[in-house]
Amino acid sequence: MNTIQTIAVVGATGMLGAPVTKTLRRQGFSVTAVVRDMQKAQQKLGAGTHLFKGDLADKNSLRSAFADSDYVYLSLSTQPGEKNSRFKTEIDGLRNAIEAARSARVKRIGYLSSLVKDYKADDWWVFDIKEEACEILRSADLPVTIFYPSSFFENLTQLQMKGRRVLMAGNQKTQSWWISAEDFGRQVANSFRLDREHDRDCEYSVQGPEPFSMEEAIDQFIRNYKAADLKKTKVPMGIFKLLKPLSPSIDFQYHILNAINRYDEKFQSEKTWQRLGEPTLSLADWAAAQG
Ligand SMILES: NC(=O)c1ccc[n+]([C@@H]2O[C@H](COP(=O)([O-])OP(=O)(O)OC[C@H]3O[C@@H](n4cnc5c(N)ncnc54)[C@H](OP(=O)(O)O)[C@@H]3O)[C@@H](O)[C@H]2O)c1
C-alpha cells in the first residue's frame, strides 16, 4: 500500500520555493510550508498546503513544524544585509533546521544550493556561505540531498522584467542550461521518492534542456512572451561597479551577475537526468505560458 509522504518546506514563499512547493503537492506529497508570514504564504501558495508559523531563528518552532514530516526541503537565500549580521540564514538557520530535523526523526533533508557558487575568480562572502552550508550538510548526522541548479527561467519574469523592459547586465560569453522551477520541482519530488537511507548523501547538478547565453535567453523569452511587447535593455556592468560601494544590494547584484557572466558552465547533469528524470519544459514554451 502506498502511504502519502509528508514534507515540510522552509522557504515556500520564495521565488523558487513557491513553485517547487506547488509541484511537490501536485506530485502527491502532503506539504507543510513553514512560514514567517501566514498572509503572504496564503497569497503565494493558495489552498492545499498546510501552513505552520515558524522561523529558522526559532528551533522550537522548527521542531514542532517538522514533527510529522518524513522529509524537510530548504529553499533559502542569503540577503545582502547578512554580511555583517550575527544570524546567517544559510549557516545558523541551516544548523537549527538540521538539529530540529534530527530530533523530529526526519528521514532526509533536501537543500537548494547553486551551480555558479563554484565560480572561484571572485572572492565573494556569499559563495563562502554557500560552500560552508554544503559542508554543514555533509557532516550532518542524517541523510541529505543537495541540488546545484543553473539559472531559472523565473529570473526573467520576477527579477529582470521591469514593466515592458527585460534587463540584461553586461555580456555573458558563456552559456547556462536554464531550467524551470516546475521541472526542478519534479526532480526534487523524485529525489525524495528514490533516495533511500543507504544512499546517504546525494548531490545533483540541475540543468535544463537547452543552453543559452543571457542575451539568447532574453531574446527567446521576448519572442515567445504573448502578454506584452517586451524590449531588451542592456545595462553595462560598469554602472554596477561604480554604484556598488553605495549599496549592499547593488554590491550583491554586481557579484552575482559578474559570476553568471563569467562562469564557464559545462553540462554535467547526466546522472540527475537518469535518476530524477529529464526536464521537459523549453524556454519558448514556458515563456508562451506566462503573463
Ligand atoms: N535564481 C536562480 O536562477 C538561482 C539559481 C541557482 C540557485 N539559486 C538559489 O536559490 C535560492 C532561493 O532563491 P529564491 O530567489 O527563491 O529566494 P527568496 O525568494 O529570497 O526566498 C527565500 C525564502 O526563505 C525564507 N526565509 C528567509 N529567512 C527565513 C527565516 N528566518 N525563517 C523562515 N523562512 C525564512 C523566505 O521567507 P519570507 O517570505 O518570510 O522572507 C523565503 O520564503 C537562493 O539561495 C539562490 O542562491 C537561485
Q: At 147, which helix (H) or strand (E)? A: strand 144-149
Which amino acid would we find at residue 10?
V
- 105 — phi, psi (to 5°)? 60, 40
25-30 CB contacts, 8 Å cutoff, 24+ apart? 25/49, 27/185, 27/186, 27/189, 28/4, 28/189, 29/4, 29/5, 29/189, 29/192, 30/4, 30/5, 30/6
Task: Per residue of the chain (291 residues), give pLDDT as tens.
Answer: 468 899 999 999 999 999 999 999 999 999 999 999 999 999 999 998 999 999 999 999 999 999 999 999 999 999 999 999 999 999 999 999 999 999 999 999 999 999 999 998 989 999 999 999 999 999 999 999 999 999 999 999 999 999 999 999 999 999 999 999 999 999 999 999 998 877 877 999 999 999 999 999 999 999 999 999 999 999 999 999 999 999 999 999 999 999 999 999 999 999 999 999 999 999 999 999 998
Between CA 64 and CA 77 the distance in angstroms is 23
Domains of the chain from N-terminus onward: 6-288 (3.40.50.720)
Substitution candidate for ligand 1 out of 35, 36, 158 with most atoms within 8 A of CB = 36
pLDDT of residue 3: 87
Within 8 A by CB and 6+ apart from 119, the residues are 127, 259, 262, 263
Q: Are 151 and 178 in contact (CB under 8 A)?
A: yes
Between CA 141 and CA 152 the distance in angstroms is 31
Substitution candidate for ligand 1 out of 9, 10, 15, 16 with most atoms within 8 A of CB = 16
Between CA 256 and CA 117 the distance in angstroms is 9
pLDDT of residue 178: 98
- Ligand 1 atom, smallest distance to 93 CA: 31
- Ligand 1 atom, smallest distance to 41 CA: 39
Ligand 1 pocket: which residues have CB below 6 Å?
10-11, 13-17, 36-37, 40, 55-57, 75-77, 89, 93, 112, 114, 149, 151-152, 155
pLDDT of residue 2: 65
pTM score over 0.85: yes
pLDDT of residue 26: 97
The alpha carbon of 268 is separated from its chain's Cα centroid by a whole number of angstroms, namely: 18
Residue 160 C-alpha cell reads as: 529582470
Q: Are 96 and 60 in contact (CB under 8 A)?
A: no
- Ligand 1 atom, smallest distance to 56 CA: 32
What is the CA(79)–ligand 1 centre distance, in A?
9
What is the CA(137)–ligand 1 centre distance, in A?
17
CA angle 134, 68, 31 (to 5 degrees): 70
pLDDT of residue 145: 97
Atom 8 (ligand 1): residue with closest C-alpha?
Answer: 114
Q: Are 95 and 136 in contact (CB under 8 A)?
A: yes
Atom 40 (ligand 1): residue with closest C-alpha?
Answer: 36
